[in-house]
Amino acid sequence: MAVVIAAVVTCHGVQASREAMTRNRAALFQVRTSDAEEEERVGFDKSEGRERYKYCLRQCGKLYNADRSQYVKRRQEVGGGQGNLLYSAKFKEGGVMWKLHGEAGLLTSSNEYVAQVTVRQLEELDLATSFNSAKGVLRKNLKVTKVLLDELLIDVVKVKQSYDEYLKGVFANTIDNVQNAEDLFQLENILKFTNQDSQKMLTSIKKNTFMAEQTKQVLMRCFEMESRQTTRNRVFNVINSFLGGSTRSCVDILRGNIRFGIESHKAKVLEIAPGIMRKHLTVLQDSNVLFVTRYDLKLFSDMINAMDNTLVKTMIHALVDRYFQRIKQTSTNQLQAVLPLTNQIFFYLCKSVLEYFVLRTDNGLETDHINHSKIVIVGQMP
């Protein structure tokens, strides 16, 4: 009996063990199945990623533009030399061909520009799959540490200096040279009506037919070279802080010289003008002072000096008033078309009036009843 019972118990135990093993095997199979599915899913994602980045810079090492004349390269090995970069490149931007030399970390251009630059390893650049995207990332992250050569800057500085000296020479002599005054008049209007926008100013200068040709050529050369430099500098905004040299733009130089020219013209006018005109001149607006010429001032001075007569001087004062009123009312796009505002006939008019007064006085006739306003109207400027 005892043996039978032991056998039954043993049989039940074996059965239980088999059932437990079956359950464990099922659980293990389920785990392995889940792992396999996960591995399959991950493998698919990795495959998709590999397909996506199969042609990235890191994998292919070099990305070209359409005609293969430009490229961005990831160098596989970087030597221990100072300044060596992980990347090298050749690309066109702003009308200039640029080359990044991986060895020594130099950036050069087709217009004789050489600078030391740095760029760190960039995941975004390494994963770029087109030349344009790689170029954009590289350009954005290049840092200029030192400019070794910049021929364009040197040329621009020289041209600006020559341009400044030329304008000073022209605007220093506007009271005797009507063409110089015309140049100053035209440029003041261009500065005003273009809102000091350099490109609009350059267009207006090119179209202007009243300025001296030499003046136009000097201005156009300066503005055009500055435009080239500005375009070049947009390629790497960081370059601006390393250029050095003069920060004055062509517009700044022109504005300063226009102010100088007008002040110089007004100072010379006040210096040689007869006393009766100075009150008017001190309050005359800058935009009108160029209408006053040496010829006008000399005419009034001659009349005052030659005709020392109270009645004639009264008429001359009235003529001066009308002269400045004419200046304020004159509107023109060309200075030379209206200058001078006086005429030599006024001198002879006053002389005739003086002779008339002398004749009446010599004959004992009265002159107090003469209507001076009518005489002035006869002598009114056209």
Q: How confident is the model over 349-366, as pLDDT tens digits?
A: 555 655 555 555 555 545
User: Per the domain annotation, does 369 fall within a domain?
Assistant: no
Query: Quick one: 167 and 257 in the same domain?
Result: yes
Query: Quick one: 290 and 220 in the same domain?
Result: no
Residue 137: the pLDDT is: 94
Residue 111: the pLDDT is: 73
Residue 319: the pLDDT is: 85
User: Per the domain annotation, does 357 fall within a domain?
Assistant: yes
Statement: residue 374 has pLDDT above 50: no
Query: Quick one: 257 and 159 in the same domain?
Result: yes
Statement: residue 258 has pLDDT above 90: yes
Phi, psi of 109 (to 5 degrees): -140, 170
Look at 315 and 87; give whichever has higher pLDDT.
Answer: 87
Confidence of residue 229 (pLDDT cuts 50, 70, 90): confident
**Listed ranges 16-30, 129-143, 307-321; the one with the highest mean pLDDT:** 129-143
Query: Quick one: 285 and 326 in the same domain?
Result: yes
Query: Quick one: 168 and 203 in the same domain?
Result: yes
pLDDT (mean) for 115-123: 93
Measured CA to CA, the distance from residue 282 to residue 163 in angstroms comes to 31
Omega before residue 382 within 30° of 0, cis: no
Helix (H, G, I), strand (E, B) or coil at 100: strand
Query: Quick one: 158 and 242 in the same domain?
Result: yes
Confidence of residue 15 (pLDDT cuts 50, 70, 90): low
Measured CA to CA, the distance from residue 285 to residue 327 in angstroms comes to 10
Query: Quick one: 280 and 248 in the same domain?
Result: no
Residue 225: the pLDDT is: 93
Structural domain of 318: 276-363
Statement: residue 124 has pLDDT above 60: yes
User: What is the DSSP code (8-state) at residue 114?
Assistant: E
**What's the chain's average pLDDT?**
79
Query: Quick one: 158 and 255 in the same domain?
Result: yes
User: Per the domain annotation, does 19 fall within a domain?
Assistant: no
Query: Quick one: 87 and 58 in the same domain?
Result: yes
Phi, psi of 88 (to 5 degrees): -140, 160
Overall domain count for the chain: 3
High-pLDDT (> 90) share of the chain, %: 52
User: Per the domain annotation, does 309 fall within a domain?
Assistant: yes
User: Per the domain annotation, does 41 fall within a domain?
Assistant: no
Query: Quick one: 250 and 322 in the same domain?
Result: no
User: Per the domain annotation, does 254 fall within a domain?
Assistant: yes
User: Per the domain annotation, does 78 fall within a domain?
Assistant: yes
Statement: residue 112 has pLDDT above 90: no
User: Half-sphere exposure of residue 263, counting CA atoms within 13 Å on the CB side?
Assistant: 7
Instruction: Tell me if 164 sits within 8 A of 261, measured CB to CB.
Output: no
pLDDT (mean) for 281-298: 92
User: Per the domain annotation, does 368 fall within a domain?
Assistant: no
pTM assigned to the model: 0.71
pLDDT tens, position by position, 32-81: 444 444 444 434 345 555 666 778 999 999 999 999 999 999 987 766 55
Residue 232: the pLDDT is: 79
Residue 7: the pLDDT is: 39
Residue 104: the pLDDT is: 87
Residue 62 bridge partners (DSSP):
73
CB neighbours of 247 closer than 8 A, spacing ≥ 6? none
**Domain final residue, candidates 141, 171, 187:** 141
Statement: residue 165 has pLDDT above 50: yes
- Give me 249's structure tokens: 């733009």
pLDDT (mean) for 162-180: 96
Query: Quick one: 127 and 193 in the same domain?
Result: no
High-pLDDT (> 70) share of the chain, %: 70
Statement: residue 19 has pLDDT above 80: no
Query: Quick one: 162 and 132 in the same domain?
Result: no
Statement: residue 169 has pLDDT above 90: yes
**Domain final residue, candidates 233, 261, 289:** 261
Residue 318: the pLDDT is: 84
